[in-house]
Amino acid sequence: MNTYLKALLLSTTLLLTSTAVLAGSELTTLLMLLHENGTITTEQYERVLAEANATEKESKLEKQELQAALDKATAVEVTVKGGIKVASKDGSFSTKLGGRLQMDAAYYGEDGKQQGDGTDIRRARLSLSGKMYDNWGFKLENDFTKSGLAGLTDAYITYGGLARHKLYLGHFRDAIILQELNSDNDTQFMERSLVSAFAQSRHMGFGGMYTGNNWTGALSVFGDKAKVNAGTDDEGWGVVARLTTTPYRVDNDLVHVGIASDYRKLNTGTGALSFSTSPESHLGGLKLVDTSEITKADSFQISGLEAAFVKGALNGQAEYVRADVERNGISDLGFDGWYGQMAYVLTGESRPYKDNKFGRIKPKSIFGQGGTGAWELVARYSTIDLTDKDIVGGEQDNFSLGVNWYATPTIRFMANYVKVLNVDGGEHDGVEPDIFQTRFQWAF
């Protein structure tokens, strides 16, 4: 074989084994031309063509193996906006680490029994939430300001594989009283109104929610709280139902109306029941209205009516809540309360609404990145009556003002002024303290 031919064959072979620049069809055409003009023999043509085909197959296989390894290595996506979230690319699995830190300070202008000024960590929580196999969900959350099972808040799984239905199993919140269902990350005041005296928090149970085009229905059956051990007695149980509708909704503007009921049968051993509330301030540790323990209580029912609206930067919310107590051998009792609140966002944002409850304002601009954040003014009036027949828990009226600054979607500063207008009856009859309190909140 002459030197020219050897050089040509060597160059062709190197080209085949070291690069995939030439496509298979182009290389085949080149070899055919060389073969037809007699530059290479038939034997050489077939050998080089076979080597080219083998090299091309190896190259494709290596590329496939490399792509498979790359896909495996990048099968998840990690985001850190609004919490740390790890999710599979197909969306079938996800896990999010969330949390909240709320640090309060309060000053009390006493009018009656002394309340302690000072500072406090109101909540310090971490949570894990996410989904599995497309339709299964979970959430586990603990509040580190409390010890043991008392710190356990949400601990449940969900199933959403049925059209418009979502099922819950575990330790989750009773679906009653709108202000309680709105997360404390998102409430417009530092503390909820006086009707929180009737809140039932969370219990162990099973429930479901149906979501229609403009309405929702929820029904749950509960045992007792996770921290309760009834021993040899039957623990308490309850049934909760809630129905909501948005008869008007255009973009962010809406009207929300709801009705709910929570019936609970008390523990057969203790039958312990009481209703009380702080003066819309947590730090002082004083409850101005309090029924103390209601003796011979057998069961009770909490009923609520709720209404809310959003119109651009303006929004409002109001509720009426009643508690009816059935007692063994003596007369039954009835207590009630209501509140109404209004808010206006100076920077123009609208209060978000999803899954029949309200969320936190999301500022259009970020303070520290050339923006001002979002600013909100709020006002509320609330009242409660915990006196009936032989129970003199007292009546209380409050008026509150507040300003909220949402520096970022996760950082909020709050300032509240609470004026106790009147306390009628009970241990603190006639007191009218003033309260000024502030909060720093980081929620992600």
Specify whether 134 is located in the same domain as 21. no
Specify whether 115 is located in the same domain as 215. yes
Specify whether 60 is located in the same domain as 128. no
For residue 311, what is the domain's CATH number?
A: 2.40.160.10
Specify whether 52 is located in the same domain as 158. no
Q: Where is average pLDDT lowest: 78-82, 93-97, 230-234, 251-255?
A: 230-234
End-of-domain residue from the set 41, 74, 107? 74
Q: Each residue of 236-260: pLDDT tens digit?
A: 999 999 999 999 999 999 999 999 9
Write down the pLDDT at residue 217. Answer: 98
Q: Yes or no: say if 284 and 435 are a contact pair by the CB < 8 Å rule.
A: yes
**Is 6's pLDDT higher than 60?**
no
Q: Where is average pLDDT lowest: 70-79, 101-110, 219-228, 389-398?
A: 70-79
Sign for the CA dihedral angle at 186, 280, 412, 156 comes to negative
Write down the pLDDT at residue 76. Answer: 84
Q: Yes or no: say if 368 and 375 are a contact pair by the CB < 8 Å rule.
A: no
End-of-domain residue from the set 31, 53, 74? 74
The more confidently predicted of residues 34 and 359 is 359
Write down the pLDDT at residue 56. Answer: 76
Q: Each residue of 359-387: pLDDT tens digit?
A: 999 999 999 999 999 999 999 999 999 99
**Rounded Cα gap, residues 209 and 73, in angstroms:** 38
The more confidently predicted of residues 148 and 121 is 121
Sign for the CA dihedral angle at 163, 165, 169, 172 comes to positive
Specify whether 229 is located in the same domain as 312. yes
The more confidently predicted of residues 345 and 112 is 345
Specify whether 24 is located in the same domain as 106. no
| pLDDT, mean over the chain | 90
Quote the domain boundaries for residue 430.
Answer: 76-443
Specify whether 20 is located in the same domain as 90. no
Write down the pLDDT at residue 21. Answer: 40
Q: Each residue of 263-291: pLDDT tens digit?
A: 999 987 666 899 999 999 999 888 999 99
End-of-domain residue from the set 23, 58, 74? 74
**Rounded Cα gap, residues 42 and 277, in angstroms:** 99
The more confidently predicted of residues 163 and 227 is 163
Band of pLDDT at residue 216, cut at 50, 70 and 90: very high
Q: Each residue of 325-351: pLDDT tens digit?
A: 999 999 999 999 999 999 999 999 999
* Number of domains making up the chain: 2
Write down the pLDDT at residue 121. Answer: 97
Among residues 397, 330, 399, 343, which one has the least CA distance to residue 374? 343
Specify whether 89 is located in the same domain as 30. no
Calculate what percentage of the chain has a pLDDT beyond 70.
91
CB-side neighbour CA atoms (13 Å) of 101: 3
Q: What angle do CA 309, 312, 317 make, to 5 degrees?
A: 25
Write down the pLDDT at residue 20. Answer: 45
**Is 388's pLDDT higher than 90?**
yes
Specify whether 68 is located in the same domain as 170. no
Write down the pLDDT at residue 19. Answer: 45
């209205």: which residue's tokens? 289
Specify whether 95 is located in the same domain as 118. yes
Band of pLDDT at residue 74, cut at 50, 70 and 90: low
Those residues whose C-beta lies under 8 Å from the C-beta of residue 304, and which sit 6 or more positions away, are 176, 177, 178, 198, 258, 259, 260, 261, 319, 320, 321, 322
Write down the pLDDT at residue 38. Answer: 77
Specify whether 59 is located in the same domain as 122. no
Among residues 317, 326, 335, which one has the least CA distance to residue 383? 335
Q: Each residue of 406-438: pLDDT tens digit?
A: 999 999 999 999 999 999 999 999 999 999 999
Specify whether 69 is located in the same domain as 84. no
Write down the pLDDT at residue 113. Answer: 73
